[in-house]
Structure 1
């Protein structure tokens, strides 16, 4: 892993908390990404260092935005033969210029293990005694983090107003025509193929791609395009393959390189859906950052290039945007 040149406190202070640039039109802030709607059917996505979980922004994590953008870049490149993606260019390590799609109102979550900690995850519902989840029947006697016979799709709503995701079944999607029958069949097929490619390449790097979330849109020609991010540690679970079996056998949580680390830290201290979430210590945020960097390096085979600490991330992005979009600066 890359050797740090700056102190942890300096890294936190240099985090990208927001990416609002007054020169650009159509600004919108989401939980992690800030975006701009540009002419010509384009959208600019800037991954900040904000960290969200349980529908809250919990703080900032050094290098997180860069890790997300560059990890997604690897996976977009590696899966372009399966499904077209929205990428046009990468003006900066935190920034991607994309096609502005008509986003579909369904998120496709593919899962191959009975796990999770959030309200839309499988394990909490199974642990409460539910045996039909997202339209799939589960047998009695399964354990947390157990592999399922084959991957399944567990779709959720994608609220356009930033609300909560809600579980869906295939029947509900088709009955309500959230997407057309033809679109659903294509989404299901492409999602399973994308996930299979992800699991294959992750396994070659000693990782288990446990589950993931895909978002799709439709371009001006009616083609389905994968968007947002793909197989990042924010949208996916990754476990270390060489320790999974031993830890599962004794009931320990798997060694992970993903967002679940922070979710579990929070849940050990409060009920995140009812209680105030405590402030996360600096050392915990740095451990989390190291996990994301380790995931990037392991997946891509590249060494993470830590940005120049003498240049604020926000300033670097501003300069990159001025070069990419001189008509606005």
Structure 2
């Protein structure tokens, strides 16, 4: 039997001023610079939203991001105020920077595909010769991407281009770089305690009205990060075997093997209920691996009503 999934929302909260619908999240703007961010069960790959939702995916993303925000708030301030529902985060509104701060500790995913194509520089950062896919970089590298408008692809961009085009002021960009390195270091430590390797990830930042730079959106989730299992990593590298990983990369690889990379004229392959459930199970596996806690499935018999009631109860107390 198919499990209910949250594909879209249509709320009107008290003092609501607007709503923005992203690829996965729907963000409601309220008075007093309050944002209500709903994590749906939509699945996005190659910047295309898949036609079917993944059961519990929104809850998993929201709860991992919340735990990771709490685990890093001592080193980087963030936007989060509360999580009144398993799928919902409430926080401070701010002006997002128009770059995603991607940081890579290993030659994997997009970086590996570029390297295989003969490139030895990514976003103006040199990649050493003689590396194999999934090898560790001598030092983590920051490879920013421009923030995609809905439906458009993210684009790699060099630090120099970000500064010369005035996308981010140099003083602010230095803060973003320092925060990115600090968060990746903390994320690496958290992952190591769970027997995982944080391979690469992305962070998004914004500036509050009083000028504070804060971490926004999600962090260290399977949608924004790639993890390997530490156990057996070295042996698999030595033998040239694929790494055992927990991330959305397995979805991308499945799509590629079925002839889809988000290119013009390509059609999203059929996702059977069996495949959808296997994706859900992989997300739950990552949740339990990275948090060290058993995943508790929220009641999805009426997701829309549950979210509405929980958010409205919280807003009344603000």
The 3 A distance-change label for structure 1 pair 161 and 264 is: closer
User: Which residue of 90, 95, 103 corresponds with 1:102?
Assistant: 95
Give the 5 Å matches for 1:118-197.
121-160=110-149, 163-197=152-186
Match of 2:315 in 1: 325
Specify the SS of the correspondent of 1:325: helix
Contact 2:24/2:39 (<8 A) preserved = yes
Q: Does 1:37 align with 2:8?
A: no
Match of 1:276 in 2: 267
- Give CA-to-partner distance per residue, 1:253-308, whole Å, 9 cap, x none: 21112111111111111042332120222222222211211221222222211123
Contact 2:260/2:269 (<8 A) preserved = no
Specify the SS of the correspondent of 1:65: helix
CA distance in 2, matches of 1:106, 1:272: 23
CA distance in 1, matches of 2:150, 2:64: 27
Q: Does 1:236 align with 2:225?
A: yes
CA distance in 2, matches of 1:104, 1:128: 30
Q: Please list every run of 5 or more consecutive structure 1 residues that lacks an aligned counterpart in the other structure.
A: 1-8
CA RMSD of aligned residues (A): 1.6
Shift of 1:173: 1.5
Q: Does 1:67 align with 2:67?
A: no
Please report the TM-score for the alignment, with normalisation by the length of structure 1: 0.91
Specify the SS of the correspondent of 1:184: helix
Contact 2:191/2:197 (<8 A) preserved = yes
Match of 1:225 in 2: 214
Please report the TM-score for the alignment, with normalisation by the length of structure 2: 0.94
Contact 2:104/2:141 (<8 A) preserved = yes
Give the 5 Å matches for 1:10-49.
10-11=2-3, 14-23=4-13, 25=16, 26-49=18-41
Shift of 1:134: 1.1
Shift of 1:23: 4.8
CA distance in 2, matches of 1:308, 1:105: 36
Match of 2:286 in 1: 295
Q: How many matched pairs?
A: 312
Shift of 1:139: 2.9
Q: Does 1:206 align with 2:195?
A: yes
Match of 2:69 in 1: 76
The 3 A distance-change label for structure 1 pair 298 and 261 is: same
The 3 A distance-change label for structure 1 pair 162 and 99 is: farther
Contact 2:48/2:151 (<8 A) preserved = no
User: Which residue of 259, 264, 268 corresponds with 2:248?
Assistant: 259
Contact 1:20/1:34 (<8 A) preserved = no
